[in-house]
Structure 1
Amino acid sequence: MSPGPVVDLHPNLLPLAFLLGTWRGEGVGGYAGMDGFRYGQEIVFSSTGRPALSYESRTWWLGEPRDGRSEGSPLAIEVGFWRVQPPDGDGPPAVEVMLAHPFGISEIYVGDVAGTRVDLRSNVVIRTATAREVNRSERLYGLVEDGDLAYAIDMEAEGKPLQSHLSARLQRVPSGA
């Protein structure tokens, strides 16, 4: 997904301005009953001037071939939108994130943004009849040393309790690269 033309950021989105751009790096994943794995990832946050950031993430396999996957094989894609609601009183701004996955799951998260940290909790998870059972997730995104974007995703699925699933550290890709 191309970030498109440069536009003014809607004022509601100023708390998320630190996310704008293309981020690329590596992560690790695993879950109860699943062997750990490494993956590459690119995330693009872009603005069209409307009060929602567009979001697209794609991942690919890194490492030795396994389970029919080889280096560079596509893994997952998620697309969606991030919105900010002004704070009530002295609290932090509220963040709403809507995501769709091609394997039959859509999620809505709610959370807070404080500085360059965003904490999200599942609000709604819906799935098709053929999608795997995912009950809830929690996500944490934030800038870390050197201005990298790090995140962690915990998931409750397939009758297992909430536990670590994915984490990555991504570097901002210079515009035009």
Structure 2
Amino acid sequence: MSCPVSQPAVDLNPAMLPLEWLLGTWESDEPGQGSFPTISPFHYNETLYFTHVGQPVINFMFNAFHAESKKPLHRESGFIRIQPGTNTVAFIIAQNLGLVEIEEGELEGQKLTLQSRALARTSFAKQPYVQQISRVFQLRSDGRLEQTMFMALDNQPLTQHLHITYRRTSSSLKSQQ
């Protein structure tokens, strides 16, 4: 499945070069594992799209599906920015469950560690409310991308919620050489 947004072939903005390793389409190798004290454990598949249009930002879309039923689960989309002259990265994320968040963190080589800085939700969001999210993306030496996500709710401390690895199924469009 290709990214549903067509992109012109343009050079990657130089400000985004430290994150060039994320660009492309990534598919889960094996089903990821999800768990949390308030739900039954589950398995899921996910496709990640990291694209650009030459601006100092990377666009992303994450689509998760139940591993057995293939039913759509979770969607996230947004933008990634880098604070100029630093290794500080921000994800601006809208989720299909009515949560909007800003996660910020540090880029160290090909590892990105993020923590929520701001959360907003629809007035009719389900309780208990998400209070904190943190996640780590890491490009492993075998070329696979790994993501681990932690979550805290009103009534639960920060706990690992998701873990999954991906293989790149398509490269970025055009990047600066």
The equivalent of 1:128 in structure 2 is: 122
Alignment coverage as a number of residue pairs: 165
The equivalent of 2:56 in structure 1 is: 51
Output the amino acid matched with 1:29.
G
Cα distance in 1 for partners of 2:133, 2:23 equals: 23
Superposed displacement of residue 169, structure 1: 0.2
Higher relative contact order (CA 8 A, sep 6+): 2
Superposed displacement of residue 167, structure 1: 1.1
Superposed displacement of residue 129, structure 1: 1.7
Q: Percent identity?
A: 32
Cα distance in 1 for partners of 2:61, 2:53 equals: 14
2:97 to 79, 98, 103: 103
Secondary structure of the corresponding residue to residue 9 of structure 2: coil
Secondary structure of the corresponding residue to residue 162 of structure 1: strand
2:164 to 158, 162, 168: 168
Cα distance in 1 for partners of 2:96, 2:150 equals: 20
Secondary structure of the corresponding residue to residue 161 of structure 1: strand
Cα distance in 2 for partners of 1:137, 1:149 equals: 19
TM-score by length of 2: 0.88
Cα distance in 2 for partners of 1:165, 1:87 equals: 33
Deviations 1:73-105 (A, max 9, x none): 0001000000011345xxxx1101100012110
- Are 1:157 and 2:162 matched, yes or no? no
Q: Which runs of 5+ in 1 are unaligned?
A: 64-70
Deviations 1:51-89 (A, max 9, x none): 1100000000013xxxxxxx110001000000011345x
The equivalent of 1:114 in structure 2 is: 108
Output the amino acid matched with 2:82.
V
Cα distance in 2 for partners of 1:167, 1:5 equals: 33
Runs of 4+ in 1 over 2 A off after TM superposition: 1-6
TM-score by length of 1: 0.88
RMSD: 1.5
The equivalent of 1:67 in structure 2 is: none
Cα distance in 2 for partners of 1:129, 1:137 equals: 19
- Are 1:17 and 2:13 matched, yes or no? no
Secondary structure of the corresponding residue to residue 142 of structure 2: helix
The equivalent of 1:68 in structure 2 is: none
Superposed displacement of residue 6, structure 1: 2.5
- Are 1:39 and 2:44 matched, yes or no? yes
Cα distance in 2 for partners of 1:158, 1:143 equals: 32
Cα distance in 2 for partners of 1:175, 1:148 equals: 13
Cα distance in 2 for partners of 1:38, 1:16 equals: 28
Output the amino acid matched with 2:167.
Q
Contact 2:26 2:170 in 1 (8 A): no
Output the amino acid matched with 2:116.
S
